[in-house]
Structure 1
Amino acid sequence: MRRRRLLSALPLLPLLWPPAPAAAQGAPPALSARDRADVQRVEAYLNALTTLRARFIQIAQNGATAQGTALIWRPGRMRFDYDPPEPLLLIANAGQFMHYDKELRQPSIVPVGSTPLGILLRERIVLSGDVTVAGVQREAGLLRVTVFRTASPAEGRITLVFADNPMELRQWLVVDGQGRTTRVTLSAIETGVRLERAVFDFNDPRFMAGPVDNN
């Protein structure tokens, strides 16, 4: 029962833009010259990122936790394997994002563009235009950049958290339109690693059952 309660608290919360409430949020404050410079640094870092492998721990608003292995292959590919007993698998590829329950063998597919982390998978990441920077914060060697979809500010926001020197993606937080927060923290981060294209294939049974090990 605890596993199912945990499961119900977790699916897609760190990844999907949440439904919009009735009232929109106010306009973000203007960015300073330093803020704009830091946003450009973040863009440069993300655009230079090709592959990433890391462990993650996810904490939902109600305190429920899960962990697993994350893979990113820019542009366009992402995979999150949740450790047992959670039977979740999340894969992004070819413009689609699949949420898969390994026990029920049930997939659910949405456009990558409907997910906050879809921003990271773009071929060219520009944090302006259809994406608005809501704020830039600096604290204890960390740089936080909060963004939302310009056309739908009431949907929610995602905050990307980076180690500042050297720059490295460490965490993201999704806040939905009702103010509920889901936090995902990365550890054991490796970048520039060799990944197999097939692990991002929705239909390859070899890679649908369990965690991926490319060592």
Structure 2
Amino acid sequence: MTLFTKSPQSRLKMIGTKGRSIIAAGVIAAAIGLGAVSSLIFLPSPAHAQSAEKISPAMIEKIENYLAGITTLKAEFVQISSDGGAAEGNLFMERPGKMRFEYNPPAQILLVSTGHDFIYFDKEINAPTYFDIDETPAGIILAEDISLTDKVKIVDYRHTAETVRVEMVRKSDPGAGSVTLVFSEKPMQLRQWIVTDPTGIETTVTLFNIEEGITLDPELFKFERIWPKRGS
């Protein structure tokens, strides 16, 4: 049985209450928006060495065309970090450029890509942090022109009967960590992604109940900081 068949709630029960704390770094790392059987999730990450299996130009084109063909996407997600953090919520995406992660309570975190800014917002302290979307993993997925060879380099590729798994690093800074996208192939659909930081900590986001090509409220991709009233 693959992890994809489990509900978000049952997956969180498996890790227990200890892992429910959310680490800010893990939340930010998770913001790639996009995908393996359970045995793959816990495999140690390759040391950025090319796998024995070489990805073909045809497969690269197939993945690029699939990602470029996503107009909108909505899904539930479960996020698990190898250092014990866990969270769940809802993901909304509109290509190009827009994404929203809504984390369920008790998390007080919101991630929004407006098409220009990528914002990490801590609701508890009313503090937004802004990032250049091109400097985040999400930039790979949300770019208007999808490319797995332009600014990134494929360092590992695994193709099984059920999944296609592609690990990438940025050409400009390969030591900064990697992003692994995992797709189901029949039909091709983004199901999971794994962000590995330079210290080896992995943040895995798995998608459930995926809907593509639906109408999404434009307000999902707007961000306005709520300022406290004077005297309050």
TM-score relative to the length of structure 1: 0.83
> 1:200 Cα shift?
0.5
| Separation of aligned partners in 2, 1:85 and 1:26 | 35
Question: What is the CA-CA distance between 1:61 and the residue it aligns to?
Answer: 1.5
Tell me the equivalent position of 2:15. Answer: none
For residue 88 of structure 2, what is the amino acid of its counterpart? Answer: Q
Q: CA RMSD in A?
A: 2.5
Q: Which amino acid aligns with 2:94?
A: W
Q: Specify every segment of 5 or more residues in structure 1 that has no aligned partner in the other structure, as ranges.
A: 17-24, 206-215
Instruction: Please state how far the C-alpha of 1:13 moved relative to its aligned partner.
Output: 2.5
- Is 1:112 equivalent to 2:128 in the alignment? no
**After superposition, what is the alpha-carbon deviation per residue over 1:94-130, rounded to whole angstroms, capped at 9, x for unaligned?**
3211001122111111100111121100001011121
Other structure's SS at 2:27 match: coil
Matches within 5 A, 1:110-189: 110-189=131-210
Equivalent in the alignment of 2:30: 14
1:90 to 106, 111, 118: 111
For residues 207 and 48 of structure 2, the distance between their equivalents in structure 1, rounded to whole angstroms, comes to: 30
Instruction: For residue 68 of structure 2, give the secondary structure of its aligned residue in structure 1.
Output: helix
In the other structure, the counterpart of 2:229 is none
- The CA distance in 2 between the partners of 1:144 and 1:195, in whole Å, is 28
CA contact (8 A) 2:67 2:141 kept: yes
Q: Percent sequence identity over matched residues?
A: 36
Residue type of the partner of 1:54?
A
Structure 1 residues 166-213: Cα deviation after superposition (integer angstroms, max 9, x where no partner): 0000000001111111100000000001011121111286xxxxxxxx
Q: Is the 8 A contact 2:76 2:91 kept in 1?
A: yes
1:38 aligned residue: 59
Stretches of structure 2 lacking an aligned partner (at least 5 in a row)? 1-17, 33-45, 227-232
Q: In 2, Cα distance between the equivalents of 1:163 and 1:3?
A: 27
User: Is residue 29–residue 137 contact of structure 2 (8 Å, CA) maintained in 1?
Assistant: no
Give 3-state SS (helix, strand or coil) of 1:182's partner: strand
